[in-house]
């Protein structure tokens, strides 16, 4: 057991980089990454996280129980002045660092952390320590706030969230029931007071005393607040009814909270089962079996049919549907079993990569080539092709893989969008933050960069279509229109395409050597409008920009042609990168 724990610890990464960080943060100092890793409350995320959070938890427990055991003795039992100084320094530094890095820890602003549940707990538990350091008087029961530091351990206990989730789920019902019972009880208390006040022996001074008395009387009177006895017969009857309402004041919310708690436990169990299914299906897609042994890169499976997953994992169609719906890296697609079919008749599941708000990004400071996939969320096959090439070549890669909505709650287009035009005009305040991040990552590159926007072409077109900003059908270099900086760049591009799209050799899974000649069109789709991504990239960066469309029949077709196309594209990108580096 001990050896397994040590082995598991050693297998963890030293530090786990945050998936929500921006491109500029990929070059952050090791110190900042370590601090964020410790404070993100993911205890088992990395070696640094385990060690750092263990120190914090042990310090919380030791200091808290020392306070408990020493209460009444006028001092401390186990903590000397040096250790107390360490405790104060650690908790103060942790609190200040949480404020400083709160945007990187998932809070919208620093104020969001300060007024969050744990932010308030942190500052309240820290207050007595700081008062001691500053030798200020401890007012009232402020010293008792030390016990609140024990609540800080709750952030490391995932199950603790079940309680808060249960309350939030029934918050309105609980508040409504409390208000209703309180109003009824106050009304009866007012009636009882008027009946009782008719007698000279009445001991109630006001309605509030009757209200407090009735609740205390029928809930055990632990505070000795219900020692008065009603005098009038009507007062006794009302007191009895009011007493039951006093019980309901606690029983109704408690019942609602209990039922919500059970629902949360059931929901947690349901999510655990779904997470297990997601893990099983995801592991299938993690196997590097795509493309066969002779393919030049490691490739994951392109997709899996719904029928295949049902048989492999013994799941019903409804269970798979529920699993894919809950997954962040799996999605449904529809394919045609035969190209001539009028409608899609096969349901498949695709896996895709995510590590940021808009999808996936990969940066290599040594590469001048950037692959962009803006349609991964809604097009078949393009995400697998783009990621396989970007990962294999280790080039910069920016991909939209999640649904992004505009102000009208309509999906933002991939290759063209009015939001692209707004971004060019500086109207960034109205844009979806995920879209702004996507475009900011693109804009972070300079004019020495070569951008290739990958997309899909309709089945009636050639195998590939290349666009470089010209008018429809124009193939000459046109100053201020062609999205390449020099005529030489256009000449090199066409030479590279011509060389690598013909006589493409590929050896499939059956070891048979295959050869393909892929066809090419130039500037037949059009991306010259001011609302096109192609136009935006060119205007914002000044770099070379090319849009390369792959026929949908290749993206969704049989493996041999697909991986042959991947082979051709990889050679094209390698040659473009070499030419860019040499110029």
pLDDT in tens, 105-117: 777 788 888 888 7
Q: Indicate if 406 and 553 belong to the same structural domain.
A: yes
* 13 belongs to a structural domain: yes
* 374 belongs to a structural domain: yes
Q: Indicate if 255 and 118 belong to the same structural domain.
A: no
- The residue from 156, 189, 208 where one domain ends is 156
Which domain does 487 fall in, by range?
357-582
- The residue from 156, 191, 218 where one domain ends is 156
Pairing of strands 396-400, 369-373: parallel
Q: Indicate if 443 and 571 belong to the same structural domain.
A: yes
Q: Indicate if 111 and 214 belong to the same structural domain.
A: no
pLDDT (average), residues 201-211: 83
Q: How far apart are CA 383 and CA 502, in angstroms?
A: 24
* 304 belongs to a structural domain: no
Q: How high is the pLDDT of residue 18?
A: 47
Mean pLDDT (the chain) is 84
Burial class (CB in 10 A: 0-12, 13-18, 19+), 453: buried
Q: Indicate if 78 and 212 belong to the same structural domain.
A: no
Domain CATH for 504: 3.40.630
- Phi-psi category of residue 544: left, alpha or beta, with phi > 0 → left and psi -120 to 50 → alpha: beta
Q: How far apart are CA 387 and CA 398, in angstroms?
A: 9
pLDDT digits (tens, 9 = 90+) for 46-80: 888 888 888 988 888 888 887 777 766 555 555 55
pLDDT (average), residues 213-233: 73
Q: Indicate if 469 and 548 belong to the same structural domain.
A: yes
* 387 belongs to a structural domain: yes
* 476 belongs to a structural domain: yes
pLDDT at residue 225 above 70?
no
For helices 171-196 and 233-286, what crossing angle results, to 10°?
170
* 9 belongs to a structural domain: yes
pLDDT at residue 209 above 60?
yes
pLDDT at residue 410 above 80?
yes
Q: Indicate if 484 and 434 belong to the same structural domain.
A: yes
Neighbouring-strand partners of residue 359: 400
pLDDT (average), residues 402-408: 90
* 286 belongs to a structural domain: no
Percent of the chain with pLDDT over 90: 40
Name the band, by pLDDT with cuts 50, 70 and 90, for residue 396: very high
pLDDT digits (tens, 9 = 90+) for 558-580: 899 999 999 999 999 999 999 99
Q: How high is the pLDDT of residue 436?
A: 93
Q: Indicate if 429 and 569 belong to the same structural domain.
A: yes
pLDDT (average), residues 513-534: 89
If one counts every other C-beta atom within 10 angstroms of the C-beta of residue 106, the result is: 12
pLDDT at residue 7 above 90?
no
CA angle 231, 235, 237 (to 5 degrees): 120
pLDDT (average), residues 358-381: 94
Reduced to 3 states (helix: H, G, I; strand: E, B; else coil), residue 512 is coil
Q: Indicate if 20 and 120 belong to the same structural domain.
A: yes
Q: Where are the alpha helices (H) located in 197-316, listed in sequence order?
A: 207-217, 233-286, 306-313
Q: Indicate if 148 and 187 belong to the same structural domain.
A: no
Q: Please tell me which residue, 459 or 497, carries the higher pLDDT value.
A: 497
Q: Indicate if 139 and 189 belong to the same structural domain.
A: no
Q: How high is the pLDDT of residue 518?
A: 96
Question: What's the gap between Cα 531 and its chain centre?
Answer: 29
pLDDT (average), residues 301-329: 93
Tokens of 405: 């909505």
- The residue from 238, 268, 298 where one domain ends is 268
Q: Indicate if 8 and 33 belong to the same structural domain.
A: yes
* 325 belongs to a structural domain: no
Q: How far apart are CA 487 and CA 475, in angstroms?
A: 11
Number of separate domains in the chain: 3
Q: How far apart are CA 468 and CA 474, in angstroms?
A: 10
């Amino acid at each position: 057991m001990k050896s397994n724990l040590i082995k598991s610890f050693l297998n963890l990464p030293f530090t786990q980089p945050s998936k929500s960080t921006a491109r500029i943060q990929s070059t952050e100092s090791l110190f900042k990454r370590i601090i964020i890793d410790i404070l993100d409350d993911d205890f088992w995320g990395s070696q640094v996280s385990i060690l750092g959070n263990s120190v914090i938890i042990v310090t919380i427990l030791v200091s808290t129980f020392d306070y408990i055991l020493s209460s009444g003795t006028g001092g401390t039992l186990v903590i000397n002045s040096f250790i107390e100084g360490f405790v104060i320094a650690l908790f103060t530094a942790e609190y200040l660092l949480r404020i400083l890095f709160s945007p990187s820890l998932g809070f919208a602003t620093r104020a969001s952390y300060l007024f969050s549940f744990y932010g308030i707990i942190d500052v309240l538990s820290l207050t007595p320590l700081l008062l001691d350091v500053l030798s200020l008087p401890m007012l009232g029961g402020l010293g008792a706030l030390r016990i609140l530091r024990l609540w800080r351990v709750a952030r490391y206990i995932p199950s603790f969230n079940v309680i808060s989730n249960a309350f939030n789920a029934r918050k309105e019902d609980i508040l409504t029931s409390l208000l209703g019972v309180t109003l009824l009880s106050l009304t009866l208390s007012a009636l009882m007071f008027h009946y009782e006040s008719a007698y000279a022996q009445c001991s109630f001074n006001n309605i509030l005393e009757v209200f407090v008395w009735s609740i205390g009387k029928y809930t055990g009177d632990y505070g000795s607040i219900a020692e008065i006895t009603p005098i009038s017969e009507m007062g006794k009857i009302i007191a009895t009814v009011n007493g039951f309402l006093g019980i309901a004041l606690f029983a109704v919310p408690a019942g609602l909270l209990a039922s919500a708690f059970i629902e949360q436990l059931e929901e947690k169990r349901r999510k655990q089962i779904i997470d297990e299914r997601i893990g099983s299906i995801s592991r299938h897609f993690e196997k590097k079996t795509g493309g066969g042994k002779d393919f030049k890169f490691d490739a994951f499976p392109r997709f899996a049919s719904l029928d295949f997953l049902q048989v492999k994992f013994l799941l019903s169609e409804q269970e798979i549907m529920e699993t894919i719906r809950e997954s962040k890296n799996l999605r449904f697609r529809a394919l045609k079993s035969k190209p001539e079919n009028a409608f899609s008749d096969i349901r498949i599941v695709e896996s895709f990569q995510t590590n940021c708000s808009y999808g996936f990004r990969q940066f290599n400071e040594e590469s001048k080539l950037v692959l962009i996939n803006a349609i991964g969320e809604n097009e078949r096959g393009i995400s697998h092709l783009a990621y396989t090439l970007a990962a294999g070549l280790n080039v910069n890669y920016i991909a939209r893989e999640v649904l992004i909505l505009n102000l009208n709650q309509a999906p933002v287009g991939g290759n063209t969008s009015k939001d692209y035009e707004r971004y060019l005009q500086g109207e960034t305040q109205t844009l979806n933050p995920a879209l702004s991040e996507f475009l900011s990552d693109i804009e972070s590159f300079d004019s020495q960069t070569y951008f290739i926007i990958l997309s899909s072409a309709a089945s009636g077109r050639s195998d590939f279509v290349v666009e470089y900003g010209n008018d429809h059908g124009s193939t000459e270099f046109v100053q201020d229109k062609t999205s390449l900086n020099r005529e030489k760049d256009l000449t090199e591009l066409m030479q590279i395409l011509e060389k690598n799209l013909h006589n493409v050799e590929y050896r499939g899974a059956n070891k048979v050597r295959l050869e393909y000649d892929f066809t090419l069109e130039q500037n037949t789709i059009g991306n010259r409008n001011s609302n096109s991504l192609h136009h935006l990239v060119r205007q914002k960066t000044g770099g070379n920009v090319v849009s390369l469309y792959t026929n949908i029949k290749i993206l969704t077709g049989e493996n041999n042609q697909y991986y042959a196309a991947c082979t051709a594209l990889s050679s094209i990108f390698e040659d473009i990168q070499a030419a860019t580096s040499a110029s």
